[in-house]
Structure 1
Amino acid sequence: MQIGEVIRKHRKLKSMTQEEMAKRLGVTAPAVNKWENSNSFPDITLLVPIARLLDITVDTLLSFQEELTPEELGSILRELTDMMKKEGYETVFQWAKKKIENYPNCEQLALQLAAALDGYHLMKQLPDSEKYDGYILECYRRGLESSEEGVRIQAAEMLYASYIRNEQYEKAEEYLQYFSIQNPNRKRKQAQIYAKTGRIQDASRTYEEILYAEYMVLSEVFYGLLALAMEEQDMERAHMLVEKQGELARLFEMSRYYEIVCGLELAAEEKDKEKALEIMEEMLSCVEEIGSMQQAPLYAHMKFKGLREEVLTEMKENLKNGLRDERFAFLKDDPRYLEFC
């Protein structure tokens, strides 16, 4: 807030009129009114008396703060939105620019106001965009210097979108460094640049890598949900989750092994002897095909390392060892189970 806004806010908090404040400070009521409307500023010798009168520090009076509160930021954005409905773009732009200048250390404010101006300009398809673009981009770049990761990523998003929109793909690519290597958004944006610049094979491979990685995440999520459902003894939900996990594996063209493996957990929980043995038998028989997704059309552009025979043998032995777990103790007298193990 500017000094006038601070004076008005804290004067009202003390239920003091402008006349009362003026009398206490030995000035006129119009002088206080001018301060509060930012038409003039208090004399430097009055700063300490004003701060004492309002029960605040001089730092607070002079608005020495790095960040706005969420409430203050929201209030400014609402004011900007209201202005957009009534004023021309130039007036709104200059108002926003002045606000940003009043809070030079608040990257969040600069970012939010710049994004609003950018969006308003695009929505209205106003002419002379180059007149404003430079300033808006500079506000976005300021966000890259923020100590808050969320602000930096949001600024990078805005810059990426702006350069993609203007078909400046090399510039857009520069801002991918602000996203984590593990962030699917980074890979998706990289694939978009590949596609826009005619690198179709690279774009296809990158999109496929995202699909493959997302399957692994979603599969773990289903396992987690299944464990919770079984813990709560909600077996109807557990059966639904096993079915969905199988559909997920089919949708992502994973091997039959991944379609059925989740069901073994449920069969063990329910001590369903026939179902457990049926799934065990099928799992053991399709271990050799566990890498079949490597030939799936969905992943045609990805390069996989082939599974060597010794690796498959080791996987099968590990599976057999897993079947000896105490969860399957209810099968210990079954000859088929003993054969599997």
Structure 2
Amino acid sequence: MQIGEKIKNYRKTAGLTQEQVADYLDVSTPAVNKWEKGNTYPDISLLPALARLLKIDMNELFSFREELTEKEIGQFVNELSEVSLDSFIKAFEMGKNKIKEFPHCDSLIYSIATVLNAALTLSDIDDEKKLECNKVIVEWLERTAESPDEKVRISSSFMLAAKYIQMEKYKEANIFLDKIPDAVIDATIMKTNVLAHQEGTDVAAFFLEGKLMQTVTNIQNYLYKLIEMEEETGNHCKAEEIAEITEHMVSLFGLWDYGKVVPYLLIAVYRKDVEKCIQLIKEVLMESQKPWKMVESPLYYRYADTVQGKSFSGVGNNFVRALATEIENKEEYEFLKGNKELEAIFSQYLK
């Protein structure tokens, strides 16, 4: 943000008019107007008085501050998430500009990388642009993986390992996996108790709902992977049993209904059963068009008015694009490539 914009924003926050600022500093009103438009700059001798008038210090006026508070990061991330629902490119530029403004704020950089990485997966931008943006996100995460902040460092390493596995760069993935401690103490319940005493039961319950959602989603992903492993080792009956458990889990924990179909699709893909795959892909696509009504679950209802809660109401088409891209690019779907019925199904949803 330019100094002129800062003067304007802080002036309005202080409830001052341009005329009042001009009177206080003994300059003309047009001079203040020119500062705010960026046409000219205040004389250096006026800066201490200007900062006092606007109730800020010189560091804030000149962006010497290198870190943002947790609250400021949270507010920006919420704005970024909302923008990403409409335009990934706009959100990407917004995040990039913020990082330029605060290049040493590791927590901010990691948070931006997390939001944009999730948005990139569901975006409809072309593959070349997607690779370009992915490269930048990886660069940001590699920076934060060296952070002195342990939480940021470990989280960044975990995310990088996941991305490198996705790119089938297993050597690089292992480098970052080795940086993650084997055992990290889970302080969730203690944190919940502290929040309840400091900020109230609702705030603590909201925090716990988020942790629960994260944990349940992780368990769901573990089960998906276990199904694949059982198929690979020839334990087909075990894979089917785990698929049934995974299906029931969706209802029990109020997850998105398409998750009931995914375990059976994983089995069909492993067995290269074309007919079954097409039938299940149809079901997955149909379910993906229905919003995840997470707020109707007693487990997550506090998310109703949050960015996360609202975002799940409109991800259907993005999910279709992501699935189509996965089938087109991943080796395990090779047997489905060129299937006219499948192409017709996707074209119906993507028209």
User: What is the TM-score when the length of structure 1 is the normalising length?
Assistant: 0.48
Greater RCO between the two (CA within 8 Å, min separation 6)? 2
Quick check: which has more Rg, 1 or 2?
A: 1
